[in-house]
Amino acid sequence: MMQKFQRFGAAMFVPVLLFSFAGIVVALGSLFNNPTLFGSLANPGTPWYGVWDTISSGGWTVFNQVCILFAVGLPLGLANKARGRAAMESVITYLTFNYFVDAMLRNWGSAFGLPNYNKIQIVANSTNHGLTEIAGIKTLNTSMIGAIIVALIVVWLHNKYFDKKLPDWLGTFQGSVYVYVLGFFAMIPLALLTCWGWPKVQDGITSMQSFIVSSGWIGIWVYNFLNRILIPTGLHHLVYIPFQLGPAVVEGGLQPYWLKHLPEYAASAKPLSQIASFNGFQLYGNEKVFLVPFICLAFYATAKKSKKTQTSALMVPAALTSVFAGITEPIDFTYLFAAPVLWVVYSVMSATMNTVMWILGLRGIFSDGAIGMASMNWLPLWANHWQTYVMQFVVGIIFGILTFFIFRFMILKFNYITPGREADDEDVKLISKKEYKAKKAAQEAGVDANDPYIARATAYLELLGGAQNITELSSCATRLRVSVADPDKVAPDSQFKANKAVNVVHHGKALQVIVGLDVPQVLDKMTQLMKKSGEANAKVTEQQDNPYIERATGYVDLLGGEENIESVISCATRVRAHVVDLSKVASDDEFKKYDAKEIERKDQDKEVDIVVGLDADQIVDNMKDLL
């Protein structure tokens, strides 16, 4: 169940990635068209105003189409195969759902409590009696919740029926058409239930909003604590997205609401806590700017003298990335596994700091790093609200200093093995050896020996058992994804960390080396070194994810490992394996965790058929590579 929630949380993040840039664009448009700052230049009708109004309008695209983005984004993250087709199926089914709602309310509005439905005109910045317009369709405003429900239904239908073989005379209805047909009929009862029940849900959301607002600092603290403590599980997306983009506090989400009202906030001298009382939940970026740098400083202060330079080289870029870009993963995973108690302390300090800032009047969108904070808060609002932001910096620095001393005390008291505190002999020996090999390998590969990525690329190649031990190599946003022929040849995790890896995640022959935001450069140097060595047989890809390698690795393990597998072939939608000992094959439920649809066993032939769908060929290719 946890894996399913993690996967759902990650899928929710697919469309959310677009909101940071869009928010900055809208905020800049509001900033440069602020008459308080730019005078008559920013008056409507001037060329200056027209340019920035045009740019701002483009930025609003993401916020105005948030429902469609979730209808597209969830299938891209959750579909087991043909994800592009799943996204198409989801969008058309979602639009069908809204057309059904529109038609039911046009014909039977009185029965659902909306007798004047046909007379209601949709206007901007209005509740519109709970209605909205999506892709030109007047419908009930189910916000992102309706899009998520429809998308999840389509994903389930897609994963279950996309590969369904129909009779030849119905062949044109297979695949996406079949999924849409099923979705079409599923939307009729869903639309009916929505017309009947959603107005009641809207009343409930309004009541919940009142409760959250009245809960004061307690609600703020719990919200911010959950946003930090749940990061390792990936479930924090489920906490903040309904607030940031959904109807949990205000209709349409806090971020669009703030951006729409930014000009009036900038023009008002009243405290933000009065004119923007709702916008107190998006403060969780403050820890990225104020706490993380002091945590990095604590790691440097507690590092061994012989490792100060190496520790600072690791901490400085991580701290800057956190402060300016709001990306904390490189530092989060540096100590999350080595000292999880420190993660709890960090979460408590974050929640308490943000709550104090809220009590003292801070409101706004502070979910990103300093660049996002400046564009959406400090720059447009500084003239009338600078006292609030001075307070923000004072409180942030105080909590940063407190966090530094708490971390420093606990690291020394309990001897946590944080960066710079690893074993002396292993680290010093490893680094000196790697530096020498890095220069030699760089010279042989014809690359700059002073290149900062060569040393790490050389080290990771050797620690992975050499180029000849690597069968698959690719990367995602911050990680190297690797499959190896012999896991026993892979060095201990501590040796990867000694070469600036944040952590290593293992799963049989597949592992992930968490490198950081410069993983593309490290991958590129590894590829160069592997080609030059002439020993590499690995498949190297620039794609961020190989959707088949994890399943292939899982199936090999569940079949009893490579020594228990005599042969493996693809057969239409099946992976067919002959094994030595059937008793070593895992249960059907274990296979289904890796998206297997059905398992068939033939005792006489010692044969196992794993029904996987149209991806069978790709999965078998990856399994053969592993074998």
Catalytically active residues are 476, 571
The answer to whether the CB of 434 falls within 8 A of the CB of 499 is yes
Four-point Cα dihedral 28, 30, 36, 40, nearest 10: 100
- Long-range contacts of 316-324, Cβ-Cβ distance < 8 Å, separation of 24 or more: 317/516, 318/292, 318/516, 319/292, 319/293, 321/517, 322/288, 322/289, 322/292, 322/293, 322/369, 323/288, 323/289, 323/292, 323/293, 323/369, 323/370, 324/369, 324/370, 324/371
Q: 451 vs 321, 439, 446, 530, CA distance in Å?
A: 21, 9, 11, 17
Half-sphere exposure of 589 (CA within 13 A, CB side): 1
Give the amino acid at 391. M
Q: What does the block give as tokens for 605?
A: 């032939």
CB atoms within 10 A of CB 329: 19
- Residue 474 sits at the vertex; the CA angle it makes with 468 and 479, to the nearest 5 degrees, is 110
Phi first, then psi: give them for residue 45, nearest 5 degrees: 100, -15
- 504-537 b/e (C-beta count within 10 Å ≥ 16 → b): beeebbbbbbbbbebbebbbbbbbbbbebeeebe
The answer to whether the CB of 94 falls within 8 A of the CB of 147 is yes
The answer to whether the CB of 308 falls within 8 A of the CB of 316 is no
The answer to whether the CB of 522 falls within 8 A of the CB of 459 is no
Say which residue the tokens 């099946």 belong to: 574
The answer to whether the CB of 227 falls within 8 A of the CB of 236 is yes
Give the amino acid at 259. L
Phi first, then psi: give them for residue 575, nearest 5 degrees: -100, 115
H or E segment to which residue 484 belongs: strand 479-484
Give the amino acid at 239. V
Nearest to 369 by CA among 404, 334, 329, 418: 329
Rg of the chain over all Cα atoms, to the nearest angstrom: 28
- In what side-by-side order are the strands of the sheet with 598-602? 565-571, 574-579, 607-611, 598-602
Phi first, then psi: give them for residue 163, nearest 5 degrees: -90, 5
Give the amino acid at 189. P
The answer to whether the CB of 272 falls within 8 A of the CB of 361 is yes
The C-alpha atoms of residue 188 and residue 51 are separated, in whole angstroms, by 45
Say which residue the tokens 């409180």 belong to: 395
The C-alpha atoms of residue 494 and residue 423 are separated, in whole angstroms, by 9
Nearest to 466 by CA among 437, 501, 446: 437
DSSP class of residue 305 equals: G
The C-alpha atoms of residue 453 and residue 440 are separated, in whole angstroms, by 14
